[in-house]
């Protein structure tokens, strides 16, 4: 997919940021043709690509700006073997999730694109610099948020409520799941809503590991149910069903595992209405004299030139951190608080998923017959949170829930697959073979409650290679998250004991066991939506209160961070917001 050229307009010295760096202001600006688009979208991940799909299908001319490079899904090393890769495919600083991971030119750190953490804070920021963003390598877990998740303050007095209810988003979840393809079942469990009739694809069958864990769960009243994942179990449109042989994190050239580069982006391009510019680092939103958004300003990373792109509406979907950064770096009339920030909430309310985990060994599975257990490249089953009634009754300490992701079985051996062995030769091989498939992992993914100690701001001293001020993160978990980790630890110990297993990890205090901020790569909330301009950045349709034609369609708008993975909700919210934008464009309101 070759990127189309983005157009630029004359640089107006009288408006925009007062950048002290000459690389941003003045002579660096390129002025070319002043072609104006109906919409300028920043970002090509879940939220940006859904907006591009919806708007182009409605007839709008759309420019998509992506900070990373172009990416063709045919690059995906789907069937390469770990034994053929450097270090047997193990992760390295430039490829943390392994040699074959789909992430390109991105990660926790990017050369010449720094960020910082405040003293006493530990936060790491994952950025994916490629067309399609994180959707090329995400886990595809697609759990709907439920009624409790949209009204958490009403339920327990913590955090804030969303300005919408589950019922408002439910039909958009249905439309999204049916469009992209999600496998799973309707479990009927509390706060785990059902999809509409015929929406979900049939899930893959449980393998031996899932059946084993389910036996223990059944004995303890802990549900072990089919997972929901954006993976095709039958052919859809031009995409093929999964053939159960490749890890989804490598990318999926056949389109079975949902990513925007095999679906939303090519579908939008087929309309002839989408122009894509990769290598475009957006750093400012432009305003006209009336205070409406007129476009964006960006760096062409290949040439270093600074360009402007015009649109009737601007959609920021650059990721939670980058969207906040763009708004905070946009200072109309020199206002220090940035754009769309009359509430003071841009950058605030930063949240991530609560994470911790255990590995366990089960002697009863030693020496079982070895056969193919590759499966769908991710979860076949998981443990949804099952104790909402106990929370409401005050019987457990944690006020919010989590789910458990479980994994094990006969995966492809790689670095770290086996450890703790002595000896050599036939005896060593026999011991390894006996233990192969008897080790499982239990991973916590839990809800974080927003707190005043977690936010992002502009670092007053640091800039990236393009002269753009960078973000500084502040982070601190609260006692609520620590209580949740403790609950998870006790639940896993009970389940492992019931199955006759042994924990392979030391049980650490929750403050030591909990994940680092940002580590789970579910950061959300820096521009949350709300019912009032005094307390939030956008309204219930993702439109900023302060700028009538500026919309945010990524995770930045989340008012709470449920334990459900955020991508399916980002997609549904973006679809809903884009339908609203399309109506406004069609009626001439924008």
pLDDT tens profile 101-151: 999 999 999 999 999 999 999 999 999 999 999 999 999 999 999 999 999
Could you give the CA distance from residue 137 to residue 249 in angstroms, rounded to a whole number?
Answer: 4
pLDDT at residue 417 is higher than 80: no
The three-state secondary structure class of 502 is strand
Which residues have C-beta within 8 Å of that of residue 81, sequence separation ≥ 6?
Answer: 412
Taking alpha carbons only, the member of 432, 518, 441 closest to residue 476 is 518
pLDDT digits (tens, 9 = 90+) for 45-57: 999 999 999 999 9
pLDDT tens-digit readout, 555-568: 999 999 999 999 99
Domain assignments of the chain as residue spans, ordered by start: 1-80+119-143+166-184+251-341+453-475+541-553+564-590
Closest to 133 (Cα-Cα) out of 537, 458, 548, 574: 574
- 126 neighbors 109 (Cβ within 8 angstroms): no
User: Where residue 250 falls among pLDDT bands split at 50, 70, 90?
Assistant: very high
Q: How far is CA 392 from CA 395, 399, 449, 486, in A?
A: 8, 8, 16, 18
Q: Cβ contacts of residue 421 below 8 Å, gap of 6+?
A: 428, 431, 432
CB 561, CB 572: distance < 8 Å: no
Over the stretch 514-555, which tens digit does the pLDDT of each residue have? 999 999 999 999 999 999 999 999 999 999 999 999 999 999
Distant-in-sequence, close-in-space partners of 287: CB < 8 Å, separation ≥ 6 = 15, 293, 294, 332, 339, 547
Q: Is the pLDDT of residue 488 over 90?
A: yes
Using H for helix, E for strand and C for coil, what is the string for 296-354?
A: EEEEECCCCCEEEEEEEEEEECCCHHHHHHHHHHCCHHHCCCCCCCCCCCCCCCCECCE
- Counting residues of the chain whose pLDDT is more than 90, the rounded percentage is 87
CB atoms within 10 A of CB 272: 9
Report how far residue 103's alpha carbon sits from residue 350's, in angstroms, rounded to the nearest whole number: 24
Distance CA 73, CA 278 (A): 15
Q: Determine the pLDDT at residue 16.
A: 33
Give the C-alpha separation, 364 to 500, whole Å.
7
Q: pLDDT band for position 13 (50/70/90)?
A: very low
Closest CA to 31 of 311, 307, 309: 307
**Tell me, what's the pLDDT at 37?**
97
The angle, 0 to 180 degrees and rounded to 10, between the axes of the packed helices 479-498 and 208-220 is: 100
What is the percent of the chain where pLDDT is above 70?
Answer: 93
Alpha-carbon dihedral 479, 482, 487, 492, rounded to 10 degrees: 180
CB within 8 A of 263, min separation 6: which ones? Answer: 180, 239, 255
- Rounded Cα distance between 421 and 446, Å, is 34
Task: Give the model's pLDDT for residue 427.
Answer: 86
H helix or E strand, kind and range, residue 276: strand 274-277
Please count the other Cβ atoms lying within 10 Å of the Cβ belonging to residue 77.
18
Burial class (CB in 10 A: 0-12, 13-18, 19+), 584: middle
The alpha-carbon radius of gyration of the chain (Å, integer) is 24
Question: From CA 523, how far away is CA 555, in angstroms rounded?
Answer: 7
Burial of 543 (0-12, 13-18, 19+ CB in 10 A): buried
CA–CA gap between residue 226 and residue 203 (Å, rounded) = 7
- Is residue 17 pLDDT above 80, yes or no? no
What are the pLDDT digits (tens) for 299-357?
999 999 999 999 999 999 999 999 999 999 999 988 889 999 999 999 999 999 999 99
**What's the distance, Cα to Cα, between the start and end of the chain in Å?**
30
Residue 241 φ then ψ, to 5°: -70, 155
Q: What is the topology classification, in CATH, of domain 1-80+119-143+166-184+251-341+453-475+541-553+564-590?
A: FAD/NAD(P)-binding domain (3.50.50)
Is the pLDDT at 21 greater than 80? The verdict is no
For residue 49, which of 97, 170, 39 has the smallest C-alpha distance?
Answer: 39
Is pLDDT of 39 > 50?
yes
pLDDT at 42 over 60: yes
Cα–Cα distance list, 475 to 158, 349, 478, 532, 557 (Å): 18, 10, 10, 26, 19
């Amino acid at each position: 997919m070759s990127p189309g050229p983005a157009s630029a307009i004359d640089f107006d010295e009288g408006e925009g940021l007062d950048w002290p760096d000459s690389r941003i202001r003045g002579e660096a600006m390129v002025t070319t043709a002043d072609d104006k688009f109906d919409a300028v979208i920043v970002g090509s991940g879940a939220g940006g690509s859904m907006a591009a799909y919806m708007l182009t299908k409605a007839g709008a001319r759309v420019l998509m700006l992506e900070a990373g490079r172009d990416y063709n899904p045919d690059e995906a090393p789907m069937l390469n073997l770990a034994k053929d890769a450097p270090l047997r495919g193990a992760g390295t600083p430039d490829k943390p999730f392994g040699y074959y991971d789909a992430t390109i030119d991105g990660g926790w750190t990017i050369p010449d694109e720094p960020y910082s953490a405040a003293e006493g804070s530990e936060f790491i920021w994952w950025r994916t610099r490629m067309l399609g963003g994180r959707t090329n390598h995400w886990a595809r877990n697609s759990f709907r948020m439920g009624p409790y998740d949209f009204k958490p303050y009403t339920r327990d007095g913590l955090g804030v409520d969303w300005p919408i209810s589950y019922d408002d988003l439910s039909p958009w979840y249905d439309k999204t799941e049916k469009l992209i393809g999600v496998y799973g079942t309707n479990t009927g469990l509390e706060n785990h809503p059902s999809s509409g009739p015929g929406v979900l694809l049939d899930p893959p069958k449980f393998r031996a590991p899932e059946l084993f864990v389910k036996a223990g769960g059944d004995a303890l009243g802990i549900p072990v149910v089919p997972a929901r994942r954006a993976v095709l179990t039958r052919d859809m449109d031009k995409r093929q069903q999964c053939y159960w042989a490749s890890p989804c994190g490598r990318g999926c050239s056949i389109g079975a595992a949902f990513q925007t580069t095999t679906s939303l982006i090519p579908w939008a391009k087929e309309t002839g209405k989408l122009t894509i510019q990769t290598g475009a680092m957006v750093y400012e939103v432009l305003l006209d004299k009336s205070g409406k958004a007129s476009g964006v300003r960006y760096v062409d990373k290949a040439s270093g030139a600074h360009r402007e792109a015009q649109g009737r509406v601007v959609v920021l979907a650059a990721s939670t951190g980058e969207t906040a950064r763009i708004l905070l770096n946009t200072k109309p009339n020199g206002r220090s608080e940035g754009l769309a920030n009359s509430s003071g909430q841009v950058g605030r309310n930063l949240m991530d998923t609560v994470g911790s985990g255990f590995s366990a060994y089960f002697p009863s599975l030693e020496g079982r017959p070895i056969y193919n257990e590759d499966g769908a490249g991710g979860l076949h089953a998981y443990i949804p949170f099952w104790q909402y009634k106990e929370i409401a009754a005050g019987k457990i300490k944690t006020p919010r829930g989590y789910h458990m992701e479980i994994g094990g079985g006969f995966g492809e051996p790689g670095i770290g697959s086996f450890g703790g062995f002595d000896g050599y030769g036939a005896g060593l091989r026999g011991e390894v073979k006996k233990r192969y498939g008897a080790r499982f992992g239990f991973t916590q993914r839990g809800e974080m409650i927003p707190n005043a100690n977690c936010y992002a701001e502009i670092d007053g001293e640091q800039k990236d290679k393009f002269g753009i001020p960078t973000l500084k993160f502040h982070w601190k978990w609260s006692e609520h998250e620590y209580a949740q980790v403790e609950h998870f630890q006790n639940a896993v110990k009970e389940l492992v004991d019931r199955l006759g297993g042994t924990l392979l990890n030391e049980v650490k205090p929750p403050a030591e066991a909990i994940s680092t901020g940002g580590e789970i790569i579910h950061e959300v909330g820096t521009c949350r939506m709300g019912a009032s301009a005094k307390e939030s950045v956008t309204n219930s349709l993702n439109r900023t209160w302060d700028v009538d034609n500026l919309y945010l369609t990524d995770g930045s708008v989340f008012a709470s961070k449920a334990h459900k993975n955020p991508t399916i909700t980002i997609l549904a919210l973006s679809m809903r917001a884009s339908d609203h934008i399309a109506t406004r464009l069609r009626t001439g309101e924008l």
